Amino acid sequence: MARKRKYKLDYYSFLGFILFAILTVVVWRFPLGYYLMYPFTLLGTWFHEMGHGITSMLVGGTFVKLEIFNDGSGLAYSSYQDFYIKKNIALALVSAAGLMGPPIMGSILILMSKSFKKSTIILYALSIAMALSVIIWVRTGVGIITISLLAGLFFFIAYKGGDRFKQLAVQIIGLQACLSTYLQINYLYTEKVSVGGNPTGYSDTGNIAQHLGGTYWIWGTLIGIAGFTLLITSLYYRFRSLK
């Protein structure tokens, strides 16, 4: 009979990262904190818009370009001739992917940071993916500059950083990706939006409601809960180990 494995949780690290997450959200609300967090704000926008764009390709569309603006907002442009699945479901998935992309990617990064080797691979892979996105899709000055610099920084850390520093870097990047949805939580509960100072129509939750029914605030709540669950679950498994 196989022995049942027993696990222990590193409560200090687990609770420490939760407190760090809360502190990040609080600090971001102040002017100085906003400027300190600005690169991560734009990184969160990149995750968000890439979520839209990549999912648009998965449902049958073409990812045309990605724009990131100075105020931290962004747009992903896609075109469609046909869909692999029902149109309403496809468009709802594309909208949801922008909101769920950051916490999904962030959770993967947090989980992968458990290993020195995987942390290094993740940093290389992320830096290359960001560099390729700049070449293929990013079309605004602030987006090109910021994402290029961050890609270079992550590559440098992967190449020169110590093992524990690389682990910590991946954890922080993952945490900030998860938190990007909550740093602008008002967006979850907004039906119509302006991006880059120009009205663009329905928000992501507004679009989901239009295509699947329900209300934007119900979808915003569900997505908020899902993102939070992913964050807590990934932190739990990251800091859990065999006794």
Verdict on whether the full-model pTM lies above 0.85: yes
Cα–Cα nearest to 49, from 31, 75, 86, 18: 75
Q: What is the mean pLDDT of residues 189-206?
A: 80
Percent of the chain with pLDDT over 70: 96
Interatomic CA distance for residues 51 and 183, integer angstroms: 17
8: confidence class by pLDDT, cuts 50, 70, 90: confident
Q: Which pLDDT score is estimated for 2? A: 52
Domain ranges of the chain: 7-236
Q: How many residues does the chain have?
A: 243
User: Are 103 and 177 spatial neighbours (Cβ–Cβ below 8 Å)?
Assistant: yes
The pLDDT tens digits for 29-79 are 888 888 888 998 999 999 999 999 999 999 999 999 999 999 888 999 999
The pLDDT tens digits for 121-170 are 999 999 999 999 999 999 999 999 999 999 999 999 999 999 999 999 99
Q: Is the pLDDT of residue 1 over 60?
A: no
Q: Which pLDDT score is estimated for 197? A: 62
- Supply the DSSP symbol for 116: H
The pLDDT tens digits for 75-131 are 999 999 999 999 999 999 999 999 998 899 999 999 999 999 999 999 999 999 999
Mean pLDDT of the chain: 91
Burial of 242 (0-12, 13-18, 19+ CB in 10 A): exposed
